[in-house]
Amino acid sequence: MNSSFAVLLTKFSLLVVLIALVLQFTTPLIYPHTWGMIVYFFGITLISHKIMEKGTASKDAIDSYNATMGTTAIRLFLSLIVVITYIYLFKENKFNFAFTFFILYFLFTAFEIKTLLSKLRKN
C-alpha cells in the first residue's frame, strides 16, 4: 500500500476529528459517538484504496473499472448494513446517527476519489 496515501488519510481523519469535536459542542445534530464512525471509515477507506490501487496498477482498463466499481459497491453495502443494524438495534439518536454517518461517508468517499483521480492524472 502506498504509504503516502496512509499519511494523507491520517491527516484528513485528524482534520475530520477536529471539525467533529467543534460541531459536537455547537450543534445537537452530531452523533455523540462519532469517533467510532471515523475509525470505521478510516479502515474501510484504507482497504478499498488498496483494492483500487491493485486494480488501477493493471494496464487493462476493465480491471481498473471493475476494481473501482467493486470497492464502491462493497463500501456502500457495508455502510448500509451498519446503518440498518444500528437503527434496528438502538432506538435513540437514530436521526443523529444516520446524519453523521452519511456526512462522514460522503467526506471519506470524496477524499478517496480525489486522491485516486490525482494518481490517475499522473499516469
Q: What is the pLDDT of residue 121?
A: 65
Q: What is the pLDDT of residues 80-118, one digit of tens each?
A: 999 999 999 998 889 989 999 999 999 999 998 888 877
Sequence-ordered list of residues with C-beta below 8 angstroms from that of 21, at least 6 positions apart, any chain: none
DSSP class of 30: S
**H-assigned helices in the chain:** 3-26, 34-57, 61-89, 94-122
Rounded Cα gap, residues 44 and 46, in angstroms: 5
107 contacts 19 by C-beta, under 8 angstroms: no
pTM of full prediction above 0.75: yes
Annotate 7-36 with b (16+ C-beta within 10 A) or e (fewer).
Answer: eebeebbeebeeebeeeeeeeeebbeebee
Q: What is the pLDDT of residues 31-51, one digit of tens each?
A: 888 999 999 999 999 998 888
Domain-wise residue ranges, the chain: 3-122
